[in-house]
Structures are given as structure tokens and as C-alpha cells.
Amino acid sequence: MALAIMCSGGDAPGMNPAIKKFVDYVYKRGERPYLIYDGLEGMIDNKIKQATHRDVVGIIHNGGTIIRSSRSKRFFDYDFRLKAYENLQMHGITALVILGGDGSFRALNQFSKDFDINFVGIPTTIDNDIYGTEYCLGVDTALNVIRDALDKIRDTASSFNRAFLVEVMGRDCGYLAIVSSMISGAEICVIPEKPFERERIEEKLKKEVAAGRNYILAIIAEGAKQTNEVYQWLQDSIGLDTRVSILGHIQRGGNPTVYDRMMAFDFTVTAVDHLLTHNDSNKVVVFQKGDFKLMEIEEVVGNRYTLPQHFLDALHLLDQS
């Protein structure tokens, strides 16, 4: 049996460990592994090759993805999906593992409905915003990159009478922001899921500044779209000279942590085992309460991820006196 692996959408640390495990494990099971380069675009353009152990040696500690990724507008066109299917047929590939997020799963779901292709998705996004799974591959590494940046920013913030406002990724999800705030001791956290209680926090911070507080660390989720607003508020209302740091794409890079390497191992083995033993299509591996399970794709893409209540409750704990 020929199986292929591909990446789609934004890159995330942990992709390379998953790719290596895929190749090694498929060979161990006596089957043929293939690599699809450049994601959905590469499938359309036939950038597909049978993998060898040599292709994946020494990649487990590298961030990013050796087979690269893409977003594809062409894949929305049936004729291009047909071309992609014909390319897979040419190589004898009947099953796919896809490392990606919600949009990638939707694309493969349609592809599987059009053609006789079996696929399993592995939730891979630093945003940690996929319904049904408590963890997405790459999140722990991203959080450690953010933690390192915040520790250094706090060092310089405490050396001046200054506020630092740090914007983190997460798309429309506040997971990275709230966890980063919890582990950095940030005084302010703004996320899309909950209104920013400016008046209450302003009263508290003004009292603390008057009593001698000389710096503030504020974490803003990009999806909140309030970076400029909170900047002006810190400057004008709180009265602290404020600097803005947008961490941007450094959050997607870096050596995968031990945890992400371990999760890549288990996510991938679960996906391959399912493809080799089942003919039903359109599944996603999810991590729930310490176990790896398979969930129907319609359930994953048909529902919206929400932050656990204990994270939302933590917002009040962050800014209590």
C-alpha cells in the first residue's frame, strides 16, 4: 500500500518530527511512504516522490517542514482537484496523512468526496484552535518561544518606568495569549473571547502606579484587534511610556520541544495505523484526556473551538490585587 504525507496552511514546529516518523513507521509496517512537496499546490503539480530514510535523517530537531507547505486557490476548482487525483493514481497512492488545520481538513474532505481517497488529518497549528482536540502539534514550541521573548522583555521593562505591550499570534483564538499571560505574570491580557474590562483594570493599575509600580506587561491576542487601542490607553490613561512588540512569525519557528516531538510520534502512529486497517475516509486524530482518538471530519470542521472555562476564569486571577 502506498501512503503519502503532506503539509498544508501555516507551518508549525513538530511537522518535521511527524514527517520523519511517518516515513520510518510506514516502512516498518512494510508499506511505501511518499512525500508531497508544497502542499495542495504540489499535489496538483505532481511534486510527489517516494521517500527514503535518507530523506528524513537528521530533521527531527528542525523547525518548519522539509516538504514545505502552501495555501491553494486552485484546489477549489474541480479540474485541478482531478489533476491532483490523477497524480496520486500515477504513484499508486490511496491514502493521505495531512498536517494542517481547519481549512486544510475542509479541502481534503471535499477531495475525498470527489474521489476514492482515504485520509487522516493531524491537527497542526500553533493557534490550538481545532475543535475536538485539546492539543495541536506545534503549540508547546510556540509557547516556549513566546515565554523566552516575554522573559527578556520583562527584563528591560523593569529597568525603566515603562509598559510593554506584546502582540502574539492565535488567529481568532486567545489560547496563546492567555497561557502566555499565565506563565509570564502579565498584568494585562486581552483576547477575542472576552471583553476587556478596561475601567476595572484601569482603577487598579492607577493605584499601583501611584504606589510605586514602574512597569507593566500586557499580552494582546492578534484576533482581539485592540493593539493600538490598548497602546493609547496605557500611554494616556495609565500614564506609562509604552513600547509595542509584535512577535509575529518567530512564534512558528524554533526547534520542536520534547513535548512536540513526542506528540508528533503518537499523532503519526495513530494516523498511519488507522489508514492501514480501515477503509473509511475523513478522520482527524484528536487528543482528549490523555488519549488519541479518531473523530469524524464533519464534527471537527462543523464546530467551533472554544477556550476551556478555566482559562477564561484565569483572566480575573491575573489582574487581582
Could you list the active site residues? Answer: 127
Assigned C-alpha cell, 131: 475543535
- What is the C-alpha separation between 247 and 150, in angstroms, rounded? 10
Query: E strands of 9-157, at which residues?
Result: 32-36, 48-50, 93-100, 118-123
Per DSSP, the three-state class of 118 is: strand
Going by C-beta distance under 8 Å and a sequence separation of 6 or more, which residues neighbour residue 168? 146, 176, 177, 180, 219, 220, 221, 222, 247, 251
Q: How many CB atoms within 10 Å of residue 254?
A: 18
DSSP state of 124: B
Q: In what order do the strands lie in the sheet with 48-50?
A: 48-50, 32-36, 2-7, 93-100, 118-123, 283-288, 291-296
Q: Which residues of 290-312 are buried (b: 16+ CB within 10 A; e: fewer)?
A: eebebbebeebbeeebebeeebe
Residue at grid coordinates 471535499 = 110
* Interacting residues of 74 by C-beta distance below 8 A, sequence separation 6+: 40, 41, 44, 80
Radius of gyration (C-alpha) of the chain in whole angstroms? 22
Local structure of residue 95 (DSSP, 8 states): E
Q: What is the dihedral of CA 311, 14, 286, 85, to 10 degrees?
A: 140
54 Cβ neighbours under 8 A, 6+ residues apart: none
Within 13 Å of residue 237, how many CA atoms lie on the same side as its CB?
14
